[in-house]
DNA sequence: CATACTTTGATCGGTTACCGTACAAAGGGC
DNA sequence: GCCCTTTGTACGGTAACCGATCAAAGTATG
């Protein structure tokens, strides 16, 4: 509640320092529709045509929207088509993983224009990580696709909970060496753009919601199964962070009280059954029963197990299906509580796709009481390993579409208007 | 997303049919502050004094706010104190339980002015239930405290998921005899007021958030343990319903895969370990080991177990503590996923209070990985058995404070202004 | 106790951002 | 060729905010 009564039910005092309150809404509508005429804007937004004309007149010089000839007549004068210029600006999305850094340069439609990635001990080396990030960002901005295009902002995905009220503060538990400080302000200052930070799983969820689905979905869960297990949530169209920014910890949900002991001190957490180490251990334990397996006799990693499963190896399939079943139990619990309409699976484990889909679906069907919960769609990430970095860029785009003053001014906007 | 781009980040077109957009915000502020001067409103709301004066001039004749003399001077002219008239109107809150109906008549501050309750086979007898509801509502409105006070609206809590988009539709699974129709429109029409419907656990959560806590809490979970187990959630200050209105089903979360078989067809759901039947069965199974127990030799109900536990009976304590442990496991999972700042326990089981608090807290501490998750406060319902009905009334109040045109006009508003 | 300064609340003119109406341009259909 | 539509623009009107000003009624200060 606090001081937000002005926003109660969308009411808001007209902001005096920024021009025309509805301009942002119109700009966003044009973004959503890609190409739209003034008359259609008026129709869709419930504004009068005169107002829309005026607003568009103010928006055009920003260079984000251009008039692109005329559209087909529907029995009268042919409309002037306004088109959002997806490539007017670029955005940097940074992913900090546990052991790597990746940077994506995107346009205003989530398309990746440049991609840089490097292994790095992020956990233990904060200053080096900051240097690597700066370097990869510079490399991306030097790409030909970025030439002459101004930067909107930098989004950063961190492998740590992010408190909405203190975005620059990191959790001591997950990243103790960082001493609670992200320390990337200089990155934004260097380019003169704002910096946005959020949790990696949340940004994966954001990316999947914005770019991975055809339909508009307001309730989405993104589950990343790799070394660890994380999940991010979109609720009512917004990233869900919870009271202290730690929502979505699915990794330590109890699956089996008689199970293995977990690093968190308990037994039978999901990570003890589905994490990378768990899969390797399980396969090693079963290898005696499958002497013909491709994994028999030698060291192997999760990656090897996944490859073997995709090749049809019985041992790998056994391990993978068991894990999928456990994952299904956890996802069912998540669905019962959060009731998403789509669950997106990402991370290395999602490579297996059809191999794990059936055991997953069956377990979920069994464990969800209400039909409409079970009706949620289970699908795999369309963005793959880039989803988190793209999500970081999307965070910036989302902010700019909500407050168009964040968009940089574009000089050469005269040539665009035909 | 849909058509809501006008509400994107609080932007909204000025609504032409209703006067003065910010009037609602000012009215709500006065409600929040109880007593406040015009100057303080301007300060708190960031409006100019002239605007506030004008708005208050329009609000006063509604009868919801009255000038109550002057307050203390702070070095200048003494302010005129505006006071929200909590008793200007009344609200009906209806609770439909599995086997009973209860109706609360409240004022505009959640105080219960009249209370009617009756056992009734709600599940199997829709028409009879509707009659009982109408009867109890009439009884409440006939109470002296309601004399001359206009009704704002009727809120109804149903023991069934409620789809936000179709509030009048009931789930076939939970209440098959109702054939998906609530059929209470006539109740609202009879009094000429709007009808609001939501899930009972959600409304319990709403009531606890609005009236049960001293501080403002935006993330709250309400867990009701009685015959069954339900949970309702407040997220970012709003009732959380999920994509299809089924969020918060905590009862069938998996606790023990080797546990008892559940009506949902699985093993080890929370209800098989903590529900009323589960407690009775567990006590019956242990009664041989406790020949001196008050429960030995004879039939008993959950209520008896609770009473015995409160009296210090070892058998009952054993049963109750085990159940609290299981409940703690489920709550820990919920906290990891939803990250609330307060968890409120309601229902009959919450009577045990201190008896279950320790095993509950311990289990939660063990099962929550992140400190800030575990830092959530666990407390017991302050509203007790009335919480759901009060929540139903609160739903109406919340709607009216968001759209003051829902408040009825009050005739005798002249006498109030001193 | 008179004076200066504060604080509150009301009044009034000004501004902004919207609307509706009117109109010109440019099309389709009979 | 005529009439009717549709699009985009121009212009006056209006609702809802602000700032400045002022009267009323208090406190602080000499």
**CB nearest to B247's CB, from A246, A265, A339:** A339
Look up residue A113 and give its two tokens.
């224009």
Cβ neighbours of residue B92 closer than 8 Å, sequence gap 6 or more: B103, B104, B105, B137, B140, B141, B151, B153, B154, B155, B392, B393, B396
User: What is the number of residues in chain A?
Assistant: 418
Look up residue A282 and give its two tokens.
């399980």
The pLDDT of residue B4: 46
Under the banding of pLDDT at 50, 70 and 90, the label for residue A411 is: low
* Distance of alpha carbon B247 from alpha carbon B250, whole angstroms: 9
CA A417 distance to own-chain centroid: 34
Please give the share of chain B, as a percent, with pLDDT higher than 90.
69
State the CB neighbour count (10 A cutoff) for residue A142. 11
Please check whether residue A64 is in contact with residue A107, taking contact to mean a CB–CB distance below 8 angstroms: no
- Higher pLDDT, residue B271 or A152: A152
The pLDDT of residue A418: 34
* Distance of alpha carbon A62 from alpha carbon A88, whole angstroms: 10
For the stretch A318-322, contacts whose Cβ atoms lie closer than 8 Å and that sit 24 or more positions apart, written own/partner, are: A318/A286, A318/A290, A319/A279, A319/A282, A319/A283, A319/A286, A320/A279, A320/A352, A320/A355, A320/A356, A321/A355, A321/A356, A321/A359, A322/A273, A322/A282
Task: Give B144-185 pLDDT, tens digit per residue.
Answer: 999 999 999 999 999 988 887 788 888 777 788 998 899 999
A165 shares contact with chain B (CB less than 8 Å):
no
Q: According to the 3-state scheme, what is the secondary structure of A297-346?
A: CCCCCHHHHHHHHHCCCHHHHHHHHHHHHHHHHHHHHHHHHHCCCEEEEE
Name the stretches of chain B with pLDDT < 50: 1-16, 413-418
Count, in order, helices (H) and strands (E) of chain A.
13, 13
- B309: alpha, beta or left, given left = phi > 0 and alpha = psi -120 to 50? alpha
User: Residue A14 CA to C10 C1' — how many Å?
Assistant: 23
Under the banding of pLDDT at 50, 70 and 90, the label for residue A134 is: very high
The pLDDT of residue B371: 72
* A4 to chain B, closest Cα gap in Å: 9
User: Residue A348 CA to C19 C1' — how many Å?
Assistant: 56
Cβ neighbours of residue B43 closer than 8 Å, sequence gap 6 or more: none
Which element (helix H / strand E) includes A363? helix A354-367
- B100: alpha, beta or left, given left = phi > 0 and alpha = psi -120 to 50? beta
Q: Look at A44 and B247 and tell me if their CB atoms are within 8 Å.
A: no
The pLDDT of residue A7: 45
B positions 399-418 inside 8 Å of A (CB):
401-403
* Distance of alpha carbon A387 from alpha carbon A28, whole angstroms: 23
Look up residue A30 and give its two tokens.
């044009």
Look up residue A326 and give its two tokens.
């456990």
Cβ neighbours of residue B227 closer than 8 Å, sequence gap 6 or more: B98, B275, B276
SS3 A235: strand
Chain position carrying tokens 């319902």: B381
* Domains located in chain B, CATH noted: 12-84 (1.10.10.10), 90-208+387-406 (3.30.420.40), 214-381 (3.30.420.40)
Q: Look at A254 and B329 and tell me if their CB atoms are within 8 Å.
A: yes
Please check whether residue A320 is in contact with residue B223, taking contact to mean a CB–CB distance below 8 angstroms: no
The pLDDT of residue B10: 36
* A314 to chain B, closest Cα gap in Å: 26
Identify which of A91, A96, A89, A90 has the alpha carbon closest to the alpha carbon of residue A388: A96
**With the CA atoms of A20, B18, A236 and B208 taken in that order, what torsion angle do they form, in degrees rounded to the nearest 10?**
130
The pLDDT of residue A183: 92
Write b or e for each residue in A246-274: b if 16 or more Cβ atoms lie within 10 A of its Cβ, otherwise e.
bbbbbbbbbbbbebbebebebebbbbbbb
Under the banding of pLDDT at 50, 70 and 90, the label for residue A43 is: very high
| Best mean pLDDT range from A4-8, A166-170, A370-374 | A166-170
Please check whether residue B297 is in contact with residue B273, taking contact to mean a CB–CB distance below 8 angstroms: no
Test the B interface: residue of A162, A243, A405 with most B CBs within 10 Å: A243
**Residue B141, φ and ψ in degrees, nearest 5:** -70, -20
The pLDDT of residue A17: 53
Name the average pLDDT for chain A: 89
Please give the share of chain A, as a percent, with pLDDT higher than 70.
92
Task: Give A248-257 pLDDT, tens digit per residue.
Answer: 878 877 777 7
The pLDDT of residue A6: 46
* Distance of alpha carbon B176 from alpha carbon B154, whole angstroms: 24
B376 shares contact with chain A (CB less than 8 Å):
yes
State the CB neighbour count (10 A cutoff) for residue A405. 12
The secondary structure of A79-130 as a DSSP string is PEEEEE-TTS-EEEEEEE-SSEEEEEEE-TTS-EEEEEEEE--TTT-HHHHH
Q: Look at A45 and B241 and tell me if their CB atoms are within 8 Å.
A: no
* A292 to chain B, closest Cα gap in Å: 32
* Distance of alpha carbon B120 from alpha carbon B130, whole angstroms: 11
Q: Kindly tell me if the per-residue pLDDT of A13 is higher than 70.
A: no
Contacts of B237 in chain A (CB under 8 A): 1
SS3 A18: coil
SS3 B194: coil
**Eight-class DSSP state of A407:** S
Pairing state of beta strands A342-346 and B377-380? unpaired
Q: Look at B219 and A243 and tell me if their CB atoms are within 8 Å.
A: yes
The pLDDT of residue B8: 45
B77 shares contact with chain A (CB less than 8 Å):
no
Q: Kindly tell me if the per-residue pLDDT of A388 is higher than 50.
A: yes
Chain position carrying tokens 């001591």: A172
Helices (H), B342-386: 354-367, 371-374
State the CB neighbour count (10 A cutoff) for residue B58. 13
Count, in order, helices (H) and strands (E) of chain B.
13, 13
Distances (CA, A) of B188 to B92, B137, B156, B197: 10, 11, 11, 11
SS3 B30: helix
Rounded to 10 deg, the angle between the B49-59 and B23-33 helix axes is: 80
* Distance of alpha carbon A267 from alpha carbon A229, whole angstroms: 16
Please check whether residue B299 is in contact with residue B282, taking contact to mean a CB–CB distance below 8 angstroms: no
Under the banding of pLDDT at 50, 70 and 90, the label for residue A1 is: very low
The pLDDT of residue A264: 67
Alpha-carbon Rg for chain A, nearest whole angstrom, is: 24
A positions 340-369 inside 8 Å of B (CB):
340-341, 366-367, 369
The pLDDT of residue A415: 44
Chain position carrying tokens 């606090």: A2
Can you tell me which residue has its alpha carbon closest to the C1' of nucleotide C24?
A: A77
The pLDDT of residue B17: 53
CA A200 distance to own-chain centroid: 7
Output residues with Cβ under 7 Å from nucleic strand D: A 13-14, 16, 37-40, 49-50, 53, 56-57, 74-80; B 14, 19-23, 46-51, 54-55, 70, 73, 75-78
Please check whether residue A181 is in contact with residue A172, taking contact to mean a CB–CB distance below 8 angstroms: no
* A271 to chain B, closest Cα gap in Å: 12
- Higher pLDDT, residue A227 or B124: B124
């Amino acid at each position: 509640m606090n001081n937000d009564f002005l926003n109660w039910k969308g009411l808001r005092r007209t902001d005096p320092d920024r021009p025309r309150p509805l301009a942002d809404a119109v700009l966003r509508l044009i973004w959503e529709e890609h190409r739209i005429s003034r008359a259609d804007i008026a129709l869709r937004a419930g504004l009068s045509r005169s107002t829309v004309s005026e607003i568009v007149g103010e928006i055009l010089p920003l260079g984000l929207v251009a008039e692109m000839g005329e559209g087909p007549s529907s029995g009268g004068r042919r409309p002037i088509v306004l088109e959002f210029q997806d490539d007017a600006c670029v955005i940097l999305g940074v992913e900090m993983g546990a052991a790597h850094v990746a940077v994506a340069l995107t346009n205003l439609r989530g398309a990746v224009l440049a991609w840089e990635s490097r292994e790095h001990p992020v956990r233990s080396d904060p200053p080096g990580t900051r240097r690597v990030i700066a370097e990869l960002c510079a490399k991306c901005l030097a790409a030909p696709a970025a030439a002459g295009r101004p930067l909107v902002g930098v989004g950063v995905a961190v492998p740590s909970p992010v408190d909405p009220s203190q975005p620059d503060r990191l959790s001591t538990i997950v990243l103790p060496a960082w001493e609670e400080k992200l320390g990337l302000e200089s990155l934004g200052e260097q380019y003169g753009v704002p910096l946005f930070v959020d949790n990696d799983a949340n940004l994966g969820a954001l990316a999947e919601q914005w770019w991975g689905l055809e339909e508009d979905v307001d309730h989405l869960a993104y589950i990343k199964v790799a070394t660890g297990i994380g999940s991010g949530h979109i609720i009512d169209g917004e990233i869900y962070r919870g009271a202290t920014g730690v929502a979505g910890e699915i990794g330590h949900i109890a699956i089996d009280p008689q199970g293995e002991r977990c690093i968190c001190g308990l037994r039978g957490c999901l990570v003890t059954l589905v994490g990378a180490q768990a899969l390797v251990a399980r396969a090693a334990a079963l290898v005696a029963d499958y002497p013909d397996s491709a994994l028999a006799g030698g060291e192997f990693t999760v990656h090897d197990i996944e490859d073997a499963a995709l090749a049809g190896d019985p041992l790998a399939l056994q391990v993978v299906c068991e894990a999928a079943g456990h994952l299904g139990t956890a996802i069912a619990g998540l669905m019962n509580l959060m009731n998403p309409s789509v669950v997106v699976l990402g991370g290395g484990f999602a490579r297996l796709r059809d191999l794990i889909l059936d055991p997953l679906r069956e377990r979920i069907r069994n464990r969800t009481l209400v039909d409409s919960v079970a009706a949620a769609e289970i699908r795999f990430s369309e963005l793959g390993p880039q989803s988190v970095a793209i999500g970081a860029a999307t965070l910036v785009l989302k902010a700019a579409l909500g407050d168009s003053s964040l968009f940089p001014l574009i000089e050469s906007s005269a040539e665009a208007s035909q």
